[in-house]
């Protein structure tokens, strides 16, 4: 059996898997040879292994077999187990010694108490000299002091040994306790070589426990959104990808099938008598009713945008809208829990900045961008949003189709000021007609300090009556509104720079004398 050393040279990461290519070369003599390639991930798909190469050889057979920890880590596991046995012996001896010393300590304490009482009686009857009593007490005190010092030393040494045991157990757990636990896979090849040659071999296979998720950095300017596409690549295959050519694909490694709908049956409901909940059900209901623990708030970091040029990935669009990004240069992604960010491309999308003010409920306006997507689909993912290079916050993008419009970057508008004023309020008590009236007039003020003309949507509301005995009438408005529905009024404004726009409007509410309006009018 000849072992062929290979290097991972190329990886394509899908949304739920990866395709790995390894390469290696070997000199082979004439004849039949069995070649083994070790170290493949245990998540390799058995029917995905493909072999190709350059060389005058014939592939006779290919099999995929598991390697065990005994084959790959036998010496290391044996060494750790011997260390663990020695440390456990030391721990047992220290525990025994501490027990002996503590037993002797308790015996000395009881002996000192009884001796003190006996000597005290003898001293009272002049049967013992003071020097004798002091010598006995000093001897017991010295022995107690020495015992307690040794107990402390043993306890310190015991903690040190237990720390070492914990470290050895963690190392054993990392490389697997059991000898037969599969950690790696091996490919076995049988080759027929007609004459001595050099073989350049490539092996390609699919693995699980690898995926990527989209993330975006979006920098918003007055007329454009600069969207940086980032792939958060996760590699948990137990294979390190070192200096590989990396591609990221929007395809899925899982099979897709057509699923036809099944019949949807309905019938009349026949109630059944309620059954008493089981003890387990009661426990589950109590657990569901318990309040969820509050999550700790994450402090937002204010990242600084550094202007720099980045080389984007090569984009290849395949059949069915699948897109593959080939990252320039080589990339290293270790097998670990933490995803690694990989920059793919940056696109410039057309956008339009617009302002919005809900005058009925807010004392400030907000600003956002309406962005038009380009020719490619934007996959769902988290987005860090910047406005003119300043960090705004985070958002979540849903699936956005080509050329679809979407809103992003909603934030407080600091470059305009808004104000709502109550100009008048009058109440007319019920007269001969038996009706009461109350009238209001308001003024909405928008001041533009943005330095450029702004598009703005202003919304306010007046009461909307659902009773025929209460009537609401909108009076004249100084600016024609675009829409009113159920009492909600919408104006679309264009406000020049360093100018202000005022909207005056009023309304009247009339109701029968015996009617109480709820909720109460302001």
* Whether 457 contacts 352, CB under 8 Å: no
| Pair (14, 155) in one structural domain | no
Considering the domain boundaries, does residue 336 fall inside one? no
Cross-strand pairs, 174: none
Considering the domain boundaries, does residue 397 fall inside one? no
Q: pLDDT tens per residue, the chain (522 residues)? A: 888 899 999 999 999 999 999 999 988 888 998 888 988 888 898 888 999 888 888 888 888 888 754 455 566 777 888 899 999 999 999 999 999 988 888 888 887 777 665 555 555 555 555 566 567 667 778 888 888 899 999 999 999 999 999 998 888 777 654 444 556 888 888 888 888 888 899 999 999 999 999 999 999 988 899 999 999 999 999 899 999 999 999 988 766 667 778 787 767 666 666 655 555 545 544 544 455 444 444 444 444 444 444 556 777 665 567 889 999 999 999 988 789 999 999 999 999 999 999 999 999 999 999 999 998 889 999 999 998 888 988 999 999 999 999 999 999 999 999 999 999 999 887 665 678 899 999 999 999 998 899 999 999 999 999 988 899 999 999 999 999 999 999 999 999 999 999 999 999 999 888 888 999 888
| Pair (77, 170) in one structural domain | yes
| Pair (76, 200) in one structural domain | no
Last residue of a domain, one of 156, 175, 194: 175
Q: Tally helices (H) and strands (E) across the chain.
A: 3, 26
Radius of gyration of the chain (CA): 40
| Pair (66, 198) in one structural domain | yes
| Pair (61, 191) in one structural domain | yes
| Pair (65, 184) in one structural domain | yes
The total domain count for the chain is 3
Considering the domain boundaries, does residue 269 fall inside one? no
Is the dihedral angle over the CA atoms 179, 180, 184, 190 positive or is it negative?
positive
| Phi then psi dihedrals of residue 322, to 5 deg | -75, 135
**String of DSSP letters for 425-467:** EEEE---TT-EEEEEEEEEEEEEE-SSS-EEEEEEEE-----S
Domain ranges, residue 506: 416-512
Considering the domain boundaries, does residue 346 fall inside one? no
366-388 burial: b if 16+ Cβ within 10 Å, else e? ebbbbbebeebebbebebbbbbe
Alpha-carbon distance 482 to 504, whole Å? 15
| Pair (424, 451) in one structural domain | yes
Q: Say which CATH number the domain at 49 has.
A: 2.60.40
Considering the domain boundaries, does residue 124 fall inside one? yes
Considering the domain boundaries, does residue 437 fall inside one? yes
Considering the domain boundaries, does residue 335 fall inside one? no
| Pair (59, 191) in one structural domain | yes
| Pair (75, 108) in one structural domain | yes
| Pair (186, 55) in one structural domain | yes
Write the CA distances from 88 to 153, 176, 481, 492, integer angstroms: 18, 20, 84, 79
| Pair (446, 460) in one structural domain | yes
Count Cβ atoms below 10 Å from residue 175 Cβ, excluding itself: 14
| Pair (62, 107) in one structural domain | no
Considering the domain boundaries, does residue 381 fall inside one? no
SS3 readout for 469-518: CEEEEECCCCCCCCEEECCEEEEEEEECCCCEEEEEEEEEEEEECCCCCC
DSSP 3-state helix, strand, coil percentages of the chain (rounded to 5)?
25, 45, 35
């Amino acid at each position: 059996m000849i072992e062929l050393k290979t290097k991972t040279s190329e990886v394509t990461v899908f949304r739920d898997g990866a395709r790995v290519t390894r390469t290696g070369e070997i000199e082979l003599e004439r004849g039949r040879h069995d070649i083994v390639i070790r170290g493949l991930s245990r998540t390799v798909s058995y029917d995905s292994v493909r072999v190709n190469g350059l060389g005058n050889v014939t592939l006779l057979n290919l099999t995929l077999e598991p390697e065990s920890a005994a084959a790959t880590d036998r010496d290391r596991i044996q060494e750790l187990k011997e260390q663990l046995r020695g440390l456990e012996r030391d721990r047992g001896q220290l525990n025994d010694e501490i027990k002996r010393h503590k037993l002797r300590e308790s015996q000395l304490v009881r002996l000192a108490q009884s001796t003190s009482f006996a000597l005290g009686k003898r001293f009272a009857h002049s049967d013992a000299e003071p020097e004798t009593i002091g010598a006995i007490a000093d001897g017991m005190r010295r022995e107690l002091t020495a015992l307690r010092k040794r107990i402390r030393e043993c306890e310190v040494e015991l903690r040190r040994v237990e720390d070492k045991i914990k470290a050895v157990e963690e190392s054993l757990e990392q490389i697997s306790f059991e000898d037969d636990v599969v950690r790696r896979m091996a490919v076995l090849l049988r080759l027929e070589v007609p004459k001595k040659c050099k073989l350049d071999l490539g092996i390609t296979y699919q693995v699980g426990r690898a995926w990527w998720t989209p993330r975006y950095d979006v920098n918003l300017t007055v007329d454009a959104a600069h969207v940086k596409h980032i792939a958060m690549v996760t590699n948990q295959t137990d294979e390190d990808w070192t200096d590989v050519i990396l591609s990221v694909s929007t395809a899925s490694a899982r099979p897709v099938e057509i699923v036809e709908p099944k019949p949807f049956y309905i019938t009349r409901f026949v109630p059944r008598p309620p059954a008493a909940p089981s003890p387990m059900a009661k426990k589950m209901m109590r657990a569901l009713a318990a309040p969820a623990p509050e999550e700790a708030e994450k402090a937002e970091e204010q990242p600084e945008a550094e202007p720099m040029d980045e080389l984007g990935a090569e984009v290849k669009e395949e059949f069915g809208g699948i897109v593959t990004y080939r990252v320039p240069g080589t990339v290293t992604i270790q097998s670990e829990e933490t995803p690694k960010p990989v920059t793919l491309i940056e696109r410039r999308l057309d956008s339009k900045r617009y302002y919005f003010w809900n005058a009925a409920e807010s004392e400030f306006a907000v600003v956002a961008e309406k962005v038009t997507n380009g020719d490619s689909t934007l996959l769902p993912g988290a987005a860090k949003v910047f406005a003119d290079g300043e960090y705004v916050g985070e958002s979540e993008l849903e699936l956005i189709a080509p050329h679809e419009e979407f809103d992003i970057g909603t934030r407080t508008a600091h470059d305009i000021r808004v104000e709502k004023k109550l100009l008048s309020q009058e109440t007319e008590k019920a007269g001969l007609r038996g009706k009461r009236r109350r009238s209001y007039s308001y003024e909405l003020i928008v001041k533009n300090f943005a330095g450029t003309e702004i598009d703005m949507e202003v919304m306010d509301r007046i009461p909307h009556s659902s009773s025929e005995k209460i009537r609401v009438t909108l009076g004249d408005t100084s600016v024609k509104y675009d829409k009113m529905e159920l009492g909600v009024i919408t104006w679309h404004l264009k406000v020049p720079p360093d100018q202000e726009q005022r909207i005056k409007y009023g309304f009247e509410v009339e109701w029968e004398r015996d009617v109480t309006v709820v909720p109460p009018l302001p």
